[in-house]
A and B are shown apart, each in its own frame.
Chain A
């Protein structure tokens, strides 16, 4: 890192690694420009990063899924109008149209964004690194079953694998199937079975 770089202020988080590529430097330069133009300030940027980092899939998305499992009316609401259904639980649905898709004995849903890395951050927090990788994004649309097997998820041939490529201002959350033998479980116990990956579609919900 050159002295020249350290001679100006930029709003990197203190634990942010040093930029190592042209594109990272471009990102920092763009951010500096936006700050200097007064579009937002460093404090707002850091507050946004912090709020996204504090979102845990199991405190947000999993709550939504568990409610849908125990309350058929809520599930219907969630499938019809994801944003309002999420808001009704006191959660922030974000700015893009939230769309819930339901796994059934006939259909297994799986989400990708081939063009970039669209992800329901307000419900699931930061996306995993693999979700943003070129390998996942390019492979999962053409060989989804092979990718699922690498995640340890085998979908029977009689079940349709439906891949959702998220290309517009919509964000997807998968409602995994409720596992067997969970009849007596409370909503919060059920939520603990709902992993982040099960809401992307690369995994099934956990077993009790």
Chain B
């Protein structure tokens, strides 16, 4: 079951992770909106160690305005970044 729905505001966790993971530093701690639900996939942190990746995580595409990611962004306000984030790296941003 997907914890978040399309349109939900979410925050990408800014925790540190020593194992292989697929969350680049530049998006950690940023807020965005769920643009779509992409897939359900195993966790890279344990798959990379030859384990089973369980529990499987919903993968979301998160829409983030560029002007929020980069102070002094050169382009117009509408420009955006979309990135796939596994559910265990997302927190609700509604509270």
Contact = CB atoms under 8 A, between A and B. Distances in A.
Contact of A162 (B41, B70, B79, B85): B79
Q: How large is the interface on B (under 10, 10 to 19, 20 to 34, 35 or more residues)?
A: 20 to 34
Interface of A: 97, 99, 114-115, 141-146, 157-158, 160-170
Contacts of A115: 22, 24
B41 A169 contact: yes
B82 A99 contact: no
A47 B61 CA distance: 34
A196 to B, nearest CB: 21
Contact of B39 (A114, A144, A170): A170
A9 B59 CA distance: 42
9 contacts: A142-B70, A157-B76, A160-B78, A161-B79, A161-B80, A164-B81, A164-B82, A167-B24, A168-B84
A119 B22 CA distance: 15
Interface of B: 22-24, 26-27, 38-39, 41, 59, 66, 69-70, 73-76, 78-86
A99 B38 CA distance: 9
Given A141-B69, A163-B80, 13 more contacts: A97-B38, A97-B39, A142-B70, A142-B73, A158-B76, A161-B80, A162-B81, A164-B82, A166-B84, A167-B24, A168-B39, A169-B41, A170-B38
Given A115-B22, A169-B39, A142 B80 contact: no
Contacts, number: 72
A163 B84 CA distance: 12
Given A167-B22, A168-B22, A143 B39 contact: no
B24 A162 contact: no
A183 B75 CA distance: 33
B85 A167 contact: yes
Contacts of B22: 115, 167-168
> 4 closest Cβ contacts across the A-B interface?
A168-B84, A160-B78, A165-B83, A167-B22
